[in-house]
Structure 1
């Protein structure tokens, strides 16, 4: 370890030398980042602004200027400003397109302490550091004063404004009109936007006989030039004087147009590019700068156009000379930097060489020392390894002891189970037992004993596979005949459930070398799973494909069941794996054993899941892949006696037993997919109740069809859980009144709470006492009958003021409210009532029959008669008026109905 530390220290020392040699530039003058967001990029005036900024910035070696072009895209300009805020720019310069959109971002930068300089156009906020730009009100005033100075008797002016609503447009207009109003000789006859001149200016020029135009004031030189072109097309360019704004130098710009006689004058509008950079530098040097920095403007006409042009040309020449000198200085700096770096590298290499020589001497000394340390460490590792081996051996002995105990215990289970099976078979064959219920329970014990025996056999096979104690005993076997024998064992189950079960091959004479006992287990596991997860009326097939040009034969086991989720395909052959869509009870080792047995044959198995599951087994067709110890020679007589198998299929499928309806009995709907439990409950409950069954796939439809008096529901079901079914039925007005008992093997607080949340009336855990279940059913039905009795005898007191919590009580309250609202309407029918309740007429009849035990028509009539009875006692109305007031079509019909109910006519009742 000391050698490593010293070596690391040496590396740090070399790095320190590099930092000393090449890091000396870190203390140089700080480089400031200035960002400029330009709103418009295409016109010459903006390009002049950009150029002035870049020239001024080039004069300062401590400035890095970045120009962002927005191209009149406000959203893009916002992104540029956001980027500058988030990336450490020292000063942000902004030329906004309009006064409002950028306000939030400008204020955000200002609040974060970043200096913000606004150029040319203003914004609707005072949260900025400085403004640089010409006084646009002065620009408008100068234009108007210039027109007034030309001593025209009467000057009619066409004003052409910019199309946007920026501050220059607004202020130039205000300044211009302020002078026009004060001068009697000036009159603005038209004011149009630049986007309208191609359409409107020809019309204005054509109407000159009415009001001739003497001057055109355009808000920039480009607009003025376009207006001049339109006037020229009309032959009026000599009679109208054009005045623009900007005063740029260059071809077809303001000064050039004045010199060429196109424009009478242009108003100088400085860009402010130089000034913006100068103010930025003052801010960075912590100097005080004014908030508003106004730039001077002037009139350029034929008198000073030549002078202005010469000045601009000289400035441009000086700028070009400066740029050339800067390029030369940069090249000299680069040369100096390169030479300096080379010198530093050479010096560094010299120091490193000296250090490496010293380190090599030091390393030679340490190698011997480290060698001794490694020898000591190796001895310690050897001792630790021997200790680990000893502990591992002890753990293996302990683990083997536990596994052997488990295996021995499993073997011990087999003997009593075998005795139980033998005794039950004897009982079933005893003709003295004639009680069908007793025979049914004997069959239940027999089936579950066989299931337990098969699970124990699978566990023992799993133990053998894990210990590699299986010995392959392959013999030559006709594959089709072998498959056909097992196929026939499952035919009865396929016929019972109407499953299309087929076996096919393209070569009935094909023989392969297989261990018949092991392959029988593979066939059984695959077919057992296929029948377990395939619904009634489905399809299961075994297809043997022999391709002459292949060394393998493929056996396809295909079903139309629930399939396997794609994400779980790689896990189906893992021991104890249970699929997320598997609600069937299983050990989880059947497919694992099948894969192990097939691989013992040097074959393979794969799974595909499309519209069901398909398992494909690949086996060699010859015996070259097997050793001589793995082959036995026996007759190719494939029958069940040679297979050593017990093909007792675990019948987990559901068959609904015949239901005998007895209207005197209460009805029970049992939702359960375990056939043995279904048979058990049918035997126990059918004496007192009319019992209906569902395997869970049609539970909701079944409940809505029969409207049972009570529901027993398991949790683990094929499609929906018992919680989901209970919640759906409890929220449905048609079935919300039905008491529900949840049956589950989950015995935890969370499951109990979830059951109550779903609306279940009772939660029983398996294994449950049938006596408790039977009493629970009776108690729930009795409580419902008490509630029905209360409803029937208190129909008039159930209204909004009643404190009822259940859906049924609310239903009765709504029902009474609608009937009482229409009590005087003789045409109010059951159909009208059902429509008002948003349910069908049939559903209303079933609901009322279940809750009240009465016909809905009789219920409506009883309310009418009770209302009439109260009116006879408490009102002076005549019997006819009361009859019509309670919705009877005639007094005679009312009298007859009243007498049938109260055994007195209305007249006799009133006395």
Structure 2
């Protein structure tokens, strides 16, 4: 007992050490690969430079937050598609939603549904018709329109004809607010007149420029401002018509470059809010306080400040590019560090595992001799027990042989008196004047004597079964008549107990092949038990049915006490009796 304890302690300790190493290695391998939060961004459209700049700013800020998994979807200016994408994001189990609604009315319900489900919602740039959101980030489009209107009033000196190009769908909030802000300013100048408003630079706009004297075009983004300039250039009026755009992006071909080249008179800076959206999302997820309304600053960029503005933006862009390069370098170094850590941990694990296996092998070899000696002693004990079992088996066979011989001798002794009983009984029954009642009783006595004789013969057949000389003596008989004849032996008993006793057969005179002696014993035993354990006024039915082909089923049914399931499992065990008295027999 005491010799086994070190073995258990050693192997348990080894298992604990190996498990700890595996856990450390798994932790090292997965370090930095798991995301803590999932943030989804539903963009109304990613097809213009301003939206792409917003996405770029988001990705740049996300590089500082590896704990965030970022999901991006582009609705391609389709409100129904954006609603479906937002529903899919909800099903994905996101932690926060950033969204720029394509249109106000269609998107308000689904955004409210997300907010009410407990998911924080950040609106970027555009608003909705409810307060069911967490934070709104963006410059005031009304203020942008006011800035454009103030600049137009100053540029035209309070007098002139103006054409407006909105560009976005009529249901979106930015064109509405930018238009209202613009009108709020020029309404103070009676000499300034808005002669038309279009949603794209199309043929109608061209016709109006041909037929009217337009002094200024108010384009609600720099892309439409460039289109307007191209149309004016084709009409030869680009020098006369002033153009104001919105966005003020610093990328090549965008608003700042057009102002610097004199293509447009001015552009209103409209920050994207991409960087601010990611920073706010992180604060919300980390349960930090945030402002519900975060208004971004906007200003006019024209020929008076374009130089310094472009220099500042180029400096910021260069610094950001340098930051990006450094970030990529850091990521590369981090990847190298992780790979090196994995290699170090793997080598350490292999070395330690080798050490443990060596100790296990040494311990096993040291105990091998002790185990071998124990096995030798066990083998000797087993061999002794085997020899004893062989001897006991021989004694059992000899005892069984003596038992069989005894029963065989007894059987021979019993057959003679039974034969002497049957002989006189036959002679008496042959007397012609024998009363019917006596003849019936003698017939019953003869049947039971014959049954007793068959039982004696069975004892003698037992010897034959052991020597595999027992044969089935089958003959074609009327099974219904045979069963009915057996039931007559119980007529007096069942009548006394007032038991309903009958044989039910589908076919009369049903001929089948069976061994009379064997089937007689089976049915007699079944009926004996049925009579014994069926109470007064009960029933015993013997049902005979023809089944497939030439086969017949004989079933004994009664209203007796029956057998427990545990007893039924031993129904075919030799000489088995149930534990309670009601199952005996």
Structure 2 match to 1:150: 155
Change in 2 beyond 3 A, CA 1:354/1:456: farther
Contact 1:455/1:587, CA 8 A, preserved across alignment: no
Looking at structure 2, the residues matched to 4 and 39 of structure 1 have their Cα atoms a distance apart, in angstroms, of: 66
User: Which residue pairs with 2:343 in the alignment?
Assistant: 342
In the other structure, the counterpart of 2:189 is 183
Do the aligned partners of residues 108 and 12 (structure 1) sit closer, same or farther apart at CA in structure 2, a change above 3 Å counting? farther
Deviation digits for residues 68-117 of structure 1 (CA, Å, limit 9, x no counterpart): 33333445434543454444544322222122344444334433443321
Please say if 1:17 is aligned against 2:83: no
Q: C-alpha separation between the residues in 1 aligned to 2:377 and 2:163?
A: 103
Aligned equivalent of 1:117, options 115, 118, 122: 122
Alignment of 1:794-873 (within 5 A): none
How far, CA to CA, are the matches of 1:74 and 1:342 in structure 2? 51
The TM-score normalised by the length of structure 1 is 0.40
Paired position in structure 2 for 1:56: 61
Equivalent-residue separation in structure 2 for 1:237 and 1:38 (angstroms): 35
SS of the equivalent of 1:132 reads strand
Deviation digits for residues 232-259 of structure 1 (CA, Å, limit 9, x no counterpart): 2222222211111111123331112222
- String of CA shifts for 1:753-790, please: whole Å, max 9, x gaps: xxxxxxxxxxxxxxxxxxxxxxxxxxxxxxxxxxxxxx
Contact 1:152 1:185 in 2 (8 A): no
Partner of 2:275: 274
Query: Offset of 1:26 from its aligned partner?
Result: 7.9
1:34 to 30, 39, 42: 39
Query: Aligned pair in 2 of structure 1 residues 456, 217: CA closer, same or farther (>3 Å)?
Result: farther
CA distance in 2, matches of 1:161, 1:455: 102
Alignment of 1:175-574 (within 5 A): 175-194=181-200, 197-208=201-212, 212-363=213-364, 365=367, 411-413=477-479
Secondary structure of the equivalent of 2:187? helix
Is the 2:247–2:255 Cα contact (8 Å) retained in structure 1?
Answer: yes
Counterpart CA distance in 2 for 1:110 and 1:372 is 78
- Give the total of aligned pairs: 406
> 1:658-702 deviations in whole A, cap 9, x for unaligned?
xxxxxxxxxxxxxxxxxxxxxxxxxxxxxxxxxxxxxxxxxxxxx
Q: Give the equivalent residue in structure 1 for 2:422.
A: none
After TM superposition, the structure 1 stretch with the greater mean CA deviation from structure 2, 361-370 or 286-295, is 361-370
After TM superposition, list the pairs within 5 Å mapping 1:49-128 onto structure 2. 49-128=54-133
Identify if the C-alpha distance between structure 1 residues 354 and 229 changes in structure 2 by more than 3 Å, giving closer, same or farther.
same
CA distance in 2, matches of 1:19, 1:143: 62
2:35–2:66 contact (8 Å) kept in structure 1: no
CA separation in 1, counterparts of 2:301 and 2:339? 51
Structure 2 SS opposite 1:202: helix
Aligned Cα root-mean-square deviation (Å):
4.1
Change (3 A) 1:413 1:236: same
Separation in 1, partners of 2:112, 2:378: 68
Counterpart CA distance in 1 for 2:214 and 2:102 is 32
Taking the aligned partners of 1:305 and 1:321, their CA distance within structure 2 comes to 24
- Of the three residues 155, 161, 180, the one matched with 1:174 is 180
Contact 2:479 2:509 in 1 (8 A): no
**1:132 and 1:292 in contact (8 A); partners too:** yes
Conserved 8 A contact 1:45-1:246: yes
Report deviation, 1:135: 0.2
Alpha-carbon distance in 2 for matches of 1:454, 1:77: 85
Deviation at 1:362, TM superposition (A): 4.5
Give the SS at the match of 1:67. Answer: strand
Higher RCO, 1 or 2 (CA under 8 Å, sep at least 6)?
2
Q: TM-score when scaled to structure 2? A: 0.60
- Measure the CA separation in 2 of the matches of 1:325 and 1:288: 31
* Range 16-25 or range 219-228, more displaced: 16-25
C-alpha displacement at 1:64, in angstroms?
4.2
1:773-784 alignment runs, 5 A limit: none
Deviations 1:103-144 (A, max 9, x none): 444334433443321111112221222111010001111111
Aligned to 2:287, the other structure's residue is in SS state coil
**Aligned counterparts of 1:332 and 1:75: Cα–Cα separation in 2:** 44
Change in 2 beyond 3 A, CA 1:202/1:105: closer
Give the superposition deviation at 1:61: 4.8
2:29/2:342 contact within 8 Å kept: no
**TM-aligned CA distance change 1:376 to 1:310, over 3 Å:** farther
How many Å apart are 1:321 and its aligned residue? 0.5
- Closer, same or farther in 2 for the Cα pair 1:25/1:109, shift >3 Å? farther
Q: Distance in 1 between matches of 2:319 and 2:328?
A: 14
Which whole-Å CA distance do the structure 2 matches of 1:284 and 1:102 have between them?
24
Cα distance, 1:326 vs. partner? Answer: 1.2
Deviation at 1:217, TM superposition (A): 0.8
| Aligned equivalents of 1:9, 1:79: Cα separation in 2 | 56
1:338 deviation in Å?
2.2
CA-to-partner distance for each residue in 1:450-509, whole Å, 9 max, x for gaps?
Answer: x9799978x99xxxxxxxxxxxxxxxxxxxxxxxxxxxxxxxxxxxxxxxxxxxxxxxxx
Distance 2:31 2:321 in 1: 32
Match of 1:547 in 2: none
How has the CA–CA distance of structure 1 residues 348 and 376 changed in structure 2, closer, same or farther, with 3 Å as cutoff? farther
* Alpha-carbon distance, 1:588 to partner: 6.1
Gap regions ≥5 residues in structure 1: 387-393, 398-403, 417-448, 461-585, 593-911
- Cα distance change on mapping 1:97 and 1:374 into 2, 3 Å: farther
The change in CA–CA distance for 1:26 and 1:202 in structure 2 (over 3 A counts) is closer
Q: CA deviation at 1:323?
A: 1.0
